[in-house]
Amino acid sequence: VVVRSLVELRGKYPLEVLTDAGVLPNYAFPEPGVTLRAMIEQDRDPEARRNADPPGAKKRRPTKRWESREYLRPASSALREFAPFNTFYAEGRHLKVTDLDLGTPERPSVSPWRFCPVCDHAEPAGTSTAPPRCPRCATPGWDDAGQRHELVAFRVARSFTSQHESLTVDASDDREEVRYRLADLIDVRPEHWGGAKASTSPLFGVELLHGLTLREVNFGPEDDREDTARVADKSVPAKGFVVCPECGRVQQSARDPGEGERADLSAHAVHCARRRGTSVRKELLSVWLAREVKSEAIRLLLPAATVDVDGARSAFRAALMLGLRRKFRGRPMHLEVKATSEPVTDRGDARRTFLVLYDAVPGGTGYLRELWRTDGLRECLALALEVLERCACRHDPERDGCYRCLLGHHTAFEKVRPSRRRAVDLLRDALGAWSVLTEVLTLSEVSVDTLLESELERRFVAVLQRHVTERGGTWTPTVHHGKSECARLTLGDETWLLEPQVDVAVSTGAVHHCRPDFVLWSQREGVLPLAVFCDGFEYHAHPGEAAGRIGDDFDKRAALLASERWRVWSITWADLKRFEGSAAEPTPCLFETVHDPTLSTLLGRVGTSLARDLHREDAMRTLVTWLRTPDEAAWRGYACALLLASLMGSAPVSHSALDAAEDALWTMPARGELPVLAGAGDALGVARRMGDVGMVARIPREAVRQLQWGALRAVLRLFDEAPRRADEGFRASWRALLLGWNLLQFHPRVAVISTEQDRASQRDLALLAEMVSEGAPVDDQWASVFDLVDGACEALARALLAASAPVPVVGEDVTQGGRVVGTAELAWPAAKVGVFLDAVDVPGWLTFGPTADVSRVCEAVKERSATG
Ligand SMILES: [Zn+2]
Ligand SMILES: [Zn+2]
Ligand SMILES: [Zn+2]
């Protein structure tokens, strides 16, 4: 054994020999390695030989023509170090990798595989036809020819070089490591699940996985951008490495066509049939290289799905490595940290982002199972946090991490440098979440919707900031109300303060609480604050679920508008993408049919300077336009012109037909057809449905003649009942309505409603708005009612006024046998009808609560007045 070892020692690094002989524990060299066979052609220059022989020495036997050497490296590093075009440095030699071992016809090491363009799934291609969709994630394109590629199980590489070449230091390519496009394909299936724990807010999770295959693929030189393929959501070189199927020589000319003829000569091994021109029966092969280990793993779900995923992954990965090193007082060599992600079904381009802690010893050492059982990972993260929070570099505002803390753990293959601040935030969130982690089946099914909402908010701020600075405005981070995430910004002549997460309470009779994602406070007197809502479709529409959130969204926005103290803007992902110029989906518009010249004319008539095509823009574009020109009159004019333009060209109809259509739109239980506007009359109006949006808009012809634009009135309804929300077209309708509402909010007589709202109370609010906008005189009696009445009954009182109820008495003590038994907030003593804040039982009286139905109260008062 010793003799054999010594023989091997000549060709290998000592560490590897010792490991192979079992002297060192096997985790120092966990998986079967890759061998580089170097053939070095000996220098036969007589001059050189004379110099090599010391004078007086015995004449040596003629030098062997070829000298062979073997080097063994772990597959994890060999996938780069021994990849074609790379140069391996050993024993003072530069050995360029020139050939791949493709096996024998009986035992080939190359075979065709099929790769999913979106997820990490890959499988041997086989001979039968592939199904059209990926068997794992159902993405179409699985059967595309481009998804099939030759894969080499990487075990042996070769280097053919001359003594002269191997000793020459060529300044141009020396030390310049070839960079490759590598990816880890980690396809987690139910048979791997070994227990998982997760939290959705903040998003975090850990999962133990058994018998999981790690497949790492080298797709070829990174700078090869000519022809790309899509694998696991990454763009990779389609060509990979081009090799001769007979001799395995890698075709240099394929990489560098400039090499031309010189390359041609060395394109095949000496023994290759192609070199002699006797065989051209096979096409050149285009291959990718792969290593594969089946072992145990723990994966971590990171709180990043669409925004700055690279930054989060880089920071968390470095922190995890730091923690492992601290816990084990050294680097556990057999643990690799890999990055992977999975598509989230029906969530656009959002992905679940993972780090996978992998035991590179085939089968696993049991180490990770133990780490899982003892919650050792939590300890690792806590140790890392301790270092990061205390590192001296935190005092230097110019630095964000140093080599004493995080940067030493930055792998060269990670695109983004890890940020200490980001790592601290991530670790605090993860450790905070740890105590509330709940058991789940697998991390592959944890909802990321809450995360997507907060990412949308971050993206909104980033997009707004970029716009402001690109347009020569200023953006100054500032602290406001104790919140450090605020900013003061200027656009044109306007200055705004951006504040996130503001609790707002408005009273429209009843008090409504809401928390807009942002409030933009104008720094100019008289301009209303703007509540911005960033809405992710899935989080708000809940497609496929019994109830959505849209009704509630609409209640809150309508209440803010009805208070007349707020402006409201809704922003979606698609708006930000469109604004940034990367929108695939078109911006839907409720006013598609509006005739442009008509709109231009009307905009001139109402006297607004806003651009005609504002209604075709995304919500981010209209928002920055408002921030620049917050001129209520101009925007009201635009809203009027837009509504008017949608009525123009239709034949005059009767008010009663419009009443019926309006009533139907308010009351129909679910999406249906609106009544046809039949019968000529003296109103202009439309009643139409566009997808899942219904609209009735109207104006008396007389008002048009007298230029009384304020007489315009419109109701828009989103049909958000469960079957509609599950429909593919609903997303566009939802967005179209939000876009329309952003513009139409400036006209007070526009009501926006949804099926899942309490439409009756919304209708009361709309009636109230009617009264206000028509400037109907509120007589002194009613005015004093509003002065005196408790806030809880104010909405009801206004609705009563709108419904022409008799004026009530406020705060009437109701007596029984001379004793006060209750105080009616609103009372009609003659009719013995009262509205009480608390439920009371007063004999002879009909009592209501503050949320009573207006029409029932009115009827009761009228009936009992008549009979009493
Ligand atoms: Zn797939
Ligand atoms: Zn060949
Ligand atoms: Zn540091």
Q: Rounded to the nearest whole angstrom, what is the distance from the C-alpha of residue 596 to the centroid of ligand 2?
A: 68
> Can you spell out the DSSP letters for 656-714?
HHHHHHHHHHHH-SSS-PPPP--S--SEEEEEEEETTEEEEEEEEHHHHHTT-GGG-EE
C-alpha torsion angle, residues 628, 634, 640, 644 (rounded to 10): -100
Q: How far apart are CA 451 and CA 433, in angstroms?
A: 14
Q: Rounded to the nearest whole angstrom, what is the distance from the C-alpha of residue 172 to the centroid of ligand 2?
A: 28
- Nearest-Å Rg of the Cα atoms of the chain is 37
- DSSP H or E stretch at residue 426: helix 420-434
Q: How far apart are CA 191 and CA 563, in angstroms?
A: 57
Q: Rounded to the nearest whole angstrom, what is the distance from the C-alpha of residue 378 to the centroid of ligand 3?
A: 21
Please say if the pLDDT value at position 725 is more than 80: yes
Q: Which whole-number Å values give the CA distances from 166 to 79, 266, 391, 545, 750, in the listed order?
A: 21, 16, 45, 67, 81
Residue 528, pLDDT score: 94
Q: Rounded to the nearest whole angstrom, what is the distance from the C-alpha of residue 175 to the centroid of ligand 1?
A: 38
Could you say which DSSP state residue 120 is in?
S
Q: Rounded to the nearest whole angstrom, what is the distance from the C-alpha of residue 160 to the centroid of ligand 2?
A: 13
Cis-peptide into 32, omega within 30 deg = no
Q: For residues 638 and 746, is the Cβ–Cβ distance under 8 A?
A: yes
**Residue in 263, 289, 286, 267 with CA at minimum distance from that of residue 276:** 267
Q: Is 313 helix (H, G, I), strand (E, B) or coil?
A: helix
What are 449-506's pLDDT values in tens digits? 888 888 899 899 999 999 999 999 999 999 888 888 899 999 999 999 999 988 888 8
What are 33-89's pLDDT values in tens digits? 899 999 888 766 555 555 555 555 555 555 557 888 899 988 888 999 999 999 888
Band the pLDDT of 256: cuts 50, 70, 90. low
Q: Rounded to the nearest whole angstrom, what is the distance from the C-alpha of residue 75 to the centroid of ligand 2?
A: 26
Q: Rounded to the nearest whole angstrom, what is the distance from the C-alpha of residue 218 to the centroid of ligand 2?
A: 22
Residue 291, pLDDT score: 93
Q: For residues 529 and 520, is the Cβ–Cβ distance under 8 A?
A: yes
- DSSP H or E stretch at residue 750: strand 750-754
The residues, ordered by sequence, that sit 6+ positions from 22 with a Cβ below 8 Å of its Cβ are none
Sheet containing 518-522: order of strands: 475-480, 483-491, 494-500, 518-522, 530-535, 567-572
Q: Which whole-number Å values give the CA distances from 401 to 310, 394, 415, in the listed order?
A: 17, 7, 16
Q: Is 458 helix (H, G, I), strand (E, B) or coil?
A: helix
Q: Which residues pair with 205 in a beta bridge?
A: 198, 301
Highest-confidence range of 178-182, 357-361, 491-495, by mean pLDDT? 491-495
Residue 280, pLDDT score: 59
Residue 204, pLDDT score: 95
> Can you spell out the DSSP letters for 566-592?
-EEEEEEHHHHHHHTT--SSPPP-TTT
Look at the alpha carbons of 641, 646, 651, 653 in this order and tell me if their dihedral is positive or negative.
Answer: negative
Please give the backbone phi and psi of residue 529, each rounded to the nearest 5 degrees, phi first.
Answer: -70, 150
C-alpha torsion angle, residues 739, 742, 744, 748 (rounded to 10): 150
Q: Rounded to the nearest whole angstrom, what is the distance from the C-alpha of residue 745 to the centroid of ligand 2?
A: 73
| H helix intervals, 235-308 | 252-255, 260-265
**Mean pLDDT (whole number) for 779-793:** 76
Q: Rounded to the nearest whole angstrom, what is the distance from the C-alpha of residue 430 to the centroid of ligand 1?
A: 29
Q: Rounded to the nearest whole angstrom, what is the distance from the C-alpha of residue 270 to the centroid of ligand 2?
A: 8
Residue 104, pLDDT score: 86
Q: Rounded to the nearest whole angstrom, what is the distance from the C-alpha of residue 319 to the centroid of ligand 3?
A: 12
**Residue in 396, 397, 399, 384 with CA at minimum distance from that of residue 431:** 384
The residues, ordered by sequence, that sit 6+ positions from 80 with a Cβ below 8 Å of its Cβ are 86, 177, 180, 182, 218
Q: Which residues pair with 468 in a beta bridge?
A: none
Q: Rounded to the nearest whole angstrom, what is the distance from the C-alpha of residue 125 to the centroid of ligand 2?
A: 25
**Mean pLDDT (whole number) for 710-737:** 93
Least distant ligand from the CA of 389: 3
Q: Rounded to the nearest whole angstrom, what is the distance from the C-alpha of residue 229 to the centroid of ligand 1?
A: 14
Higher pLDDT, 804 or 200: 200
**Mean pLDDT (whole number) for 256-284:** 65
Say how many C-beta atoms besides its own lie within 10 A of residue 828's C-beta: 25
Could you say which DSSP state residue 593 is in?
T
Q: Which whole-number Å values give the CA distances from 81 to 29, 179, 274, 460, in the listed order?
A: 16, 10, 28, 43
Q: For residues 232 and 119, is the Cβ–Cβ distance under 8 A?
A: yes
The residues, ordered by sequence, that sit 6+ positions from 420 with a Cβ below 8 Å of its Cβ are 315, 388, 391, 393, 394, 399, 400, 401, 402, 405, 406
| pLDDT cut 90: percent of the chain above it | 47
The residues, ordered by sequence, that sit 6+ positions from 667 with a Cβ below 8 Å of its Cβ are 759
Mean pLDDT for the chain overall? 85
Q: Is 433 helix (H, G, I), strand (E, B) or coil?
A: helix
What are 746-758's pLDDT values in tens digits? 998 899 999 999 8
The residues, ordered by sequence, that sit 6+ positions from 182 with a Cβ below 8 Å of its Cβ are 79, 80, 216, 217, 218, 219, 413
Q: How far apart are CA 619 and CA 460, in angstroms?
A: 11
Look at the alpha carbons of 87, 88, 93, 99 in this order and tell me if their dihedral is positive or negative.
Answer: negative
**Mean pLDDT (whole number) for 14-25:** 42
Residue 243, pLDDT score: 92
Return residues with CB closer than 5 A to ligand 3 (ion). 391, 393, 402, 404-405
Q: Which residues pair with 289 in a beta bridge?
A: 152, 218
Compute the C-alpha angle 380/381/382, nearest 5°.
Answer: 90
Band the pLDDT of 177: cuts 50, 70, 90. confident
Please say if the pLDDT value at position 27 is more than 70: no
Q: How far apart are CA 854 and CA 18, in angstroms?
A: 90
Q: Rounded to the nearest whole angstrom, what is the distance from the C-alpha of residue 51 to the centroid of ligand 2?
A: 37
Q: Rounded to the nearest whole angstrom, what is the distance from the C-alpha of residue 108 to the centroid of ligand 2?
A: 16
Please say if the pLDDT value at position 645 is more than 70: yes
Q: Rounded to the nearest whole angstrom, what is the distance from the C-alpha of residue 157 to the centroid of ligand 2?
A: 15
Cβ burial 700-717 (10 Å sphere, 16+ → b, else e)? beebbeeeebbbbbbbbb
**Mean pLDDT (whole number) for 606-616:** 89
> Can you spell out the DSSP letters for 318-370?
HHHHHHHHHHHTS--TTEEEEEEEEEPTTSTT-EEEEEEEEE-STT--SHHHH
Q: Rounded to the nearest whole angstrom, what is the distance from the C-alpha of residue 272 to the centroid of ligand 2?
A: 5
Residue 331, pLDDT score: 76
**Mean pLDDT (whole number) for 345-357:** 85
| pLDDT cut 70: percent of the chain above it | 88
Band the pLDDT of 759: cuts 50, 70, 90. confident
Please say if the pLDDT value at position 774 is more than 60: no
What are 552-588's pLDDT values in tens digits? 999 999 999 988 889 999 999 889 989 988 766 788 9
Residue 629, pLDDT score: 94
**Residue in 114, 124, 174 with CA at minimum distance from that of residue 148:** 114
Q: Which whole-number Å values give the CA distances from 336 to 240, 294, 411, 758, 768, in the listed order?
A: 25, 13, 12, 55, 66
Is residue 678 classed exposed, middle or buried when 0-12, 13-18 and 19+ CB atoms within 10 A define those classes? exposed
How many Cα neighbours within 13 Å face the side chain of 210? 8
Q: What is the token pair recorded at 259?
A: 């090499």
Band the pLDDT of 223: cuts 50, 70, 90. confident
Least distant ligand from the CA of 269: 2
Q: What is the token pair recorded at 793?
A: 């009954």
Q: Rounded to the nearest whole angstrom, what is the distance from the C-alpha of residue 212 to the centroid of ligand 2?
A: 37
Q: How far apart are CA 795 and CA 798, in angstroms?
A: 5
Q: How far apart are CA 797 and CA 775, in angstroms?
A: 17
Band the pLDDT of 253: cuts 50, 70, 90. low
**Mean pLDDT (whole number) for 664-674:** 94
Q: Rounded to the nearest whole angstrom, what is the distance from the C-alpha of residue 440 to the centroid of ligand 1?
A: 23
Residue 281, pLDDT score: 61
Q: Rounded to the nearest whole angstrom, what is the distance from the C-alpha of residue 550 to the centroid of ligand 3?
A: 46
**Residue in 650, 203, 594, 716 with CA at minimum distance from that of residue 434:** 203
Residue 269, pLDDT score: 83
Residue 53, pLDDT score: 52
Q: For residues 625 and 649, is the Cβ–Cβ distance under 8 A?
A: no
Band the pLDDT of 710: cuts 50, 70, 90. confident
**DSSP3 helix / strand / coil % (the chain, rounded to 5):** 35, 30, 35
